[in-house]
Each structure stands twice: as C-alpha cells, then as structure tokens.
Amino acid sequence: MCITGEVDMPDNVAWGSVHGGVRERVELFLGAAKKAPGDTMLSAYLTGASSRGEYSTANPEIDLLLVFPAVGRELLDHLAALGRKYGGKGLHAPMLLTPEYLKNACDVFPLELFELMSSHVLIQGEDLLSGVSISDTHLRLQCERELRWWRLQLRNGYLKAAGDRGWLAGWFIDASPRLFKVMRAVLHLMGGNTNAGNTVVAERLKAASGVDMSAVVELWELRKAGKKPAKDKVFGYFERWDAALETLVEKVDAIG
C-alpha cells in the first residue's frame, strides 16, 4: 500500500516540445507496440534523461514506461519482436507496469517509482503516475541500501578489471547514468528541488550536502558524447567516486 510523500513533479512539458528526434523514434515504436494482441495500452510515458531535455544525438538513449491492464506472454513476445528494429534507434526496452503495480509497489520500490514520477512526459493515455504517493521513510532506506550496494559494485568492478584500464573505463560509462536516480532522491530527502537535469541535480546535491559528485557528472557527459574516459584518468575516477559514495552514505544515514 502506498502512503504519504510529495515529489517535485516535472514541469508540464507538452509532448510536442520534446526533441524531434525523440518524438519520431517513439511515435514509430508506439504505433507498432499498440498492435499488441489482447490488452489495450492505458498510458505511455517518455522517461529518463530524454524526458528532461538531455537527449544526445551522438548517443541517443530513450526510455519509455508503458502501462497495461496486465502484462502477459503474448504482450512480451510482441514487444520483444520489435527490439531489434527499434533498439538500433536508441530506444531501450520499455518498462512495463500495471495500475496494480503502481498502487502497491511504492513501499518496496520507492526509488524506481520516485524516478519515474520526477522525470516523465505523458505521451498518451491517463496520467496514472499523478496518483502515486511515496513514503520518505521507505525512500531513505532504499537510497542508503543503493548507495552501499554501489560501493560494493565499484570495488567488484575494480577487481574484475584486473588492472585493465580500458575495461574499467567502459564499466564507469555504463554505470554512471544509473547513479543519478539515487542522487535525485537524496536531494529530495534533503529538501531540494529535483525538477532538473542530471548535472543540475548533482550541483544542487553538492550545495545541500557538501558531497562532490563531479566524477559521476564528468562520466555522464562523456557517455552522452559517445566517449570513454582517458585510461590514465580511470583510477582517479575510482578514488573520487568511492570517496563521494562513502560520504553520501553517511549523510543519508544521518537523515534517518
């Protein structure tokens, strides 16, 4: 059961104002997705970085949330068949949810739902996200858990690299965008305005907490440009990232 909690909802951005490259790709995909057998799509949202105007022509990454009355094998097979064609156009596999999931999962997946609520543009259908409420207590617990998990993943990645700076550079590029959802949620818990792009959220989090997340921002900017960090900077990124996560965990733990 979802309970109290206010989220900085995104500005009322019209679908028509979204980057043309995003609209074209998404509209083509949705036209094919709506031919799925059985259930009718209730809602379609653009989510993630492209919903905040952070679309990059060098490395387009487009995320969608699709809400159906139910998600079964036929629907999955239909959408999976579209993956090869549209994945090459920068669309990630869509997140598929049901109204029941949105209603009942807020206590166990508050971070994921917070990110959706904070960064989305309604493309079509009913705005079901507007009825979701999240407990800050649940959100804080998951933020601390995620940050501690990321420290473990960082160390594990370092060990897996076995001294291969090129491999570790790729690991950082793949991991960097996933940390911003935690940063955005922590900023919310500290009373900050989360209605902003990733770079601005990191700046606001630094102002609110004193924690410098610029190592993640720099890697995010490289990812958007389709680049990787120079090999001689990789170990420096590891040290900066680890130190920032350690301090941020302490800040989040103190909120509780």
How far from the centroid of its chain's Cα atoms is residue 201's Cα?
A: 13
Which residues have CB under 8 Å from 223's CB, separation 6+?
59, 173, 176, 177
58-108: pLDDT as tens digits: 778 899 999 999 999 999 999 999 988 888 888 999 999 999 999 999 999
Side-chain half-sphere of 24: how many Cα atoms within 13 Å? Answer: 7
Question: Which among 105, 47, 36, 27 is positioned nearest to 76, based on CA atoms?
Answer: 36
Residue 185 pLDDT level (bands cut at 50, 70, 90): very high
Name the pLDDT band for 193 (thresholds 50, 70, 90). very high
- 3-class state of residue 207 by DSSP: helix
- Digit-coded pLDDT (tens) for 110-150: 999 999 999 999 999 999 998 899 999 999 999 999 999 99
Percent of the chain with pLDDT over 70: 95
- 222-235 average pLDDT score: 93
What is the C-alpha to C-alpha distance for residues 214 and 76, in angstroms, rounded to an integer?
39
Q: How far apart are CA 139 and CA 163, in angstroms?
A: 36
Instruction: Please name which of 159, 216, 205, 178 lies closest in space to residue 61, comparing C-alpha atoms.
Output: 178
Is domain 15-131 given the CATH code 3.30.460 in the classification? Answer: yes
pLDDT band at 255 (very low <50, low <70, confident <90, very high): very high
Which region among 35-39, 133-137, 145-149, 181-185 has the lowest average model confidence (pLDDT)?
Answer: 35-39
Domain locations in the chain as residue ranges: 15-131, 136-255
Burial class (CB in 10 A: 0-12, 13-18, 19+), 36: buried
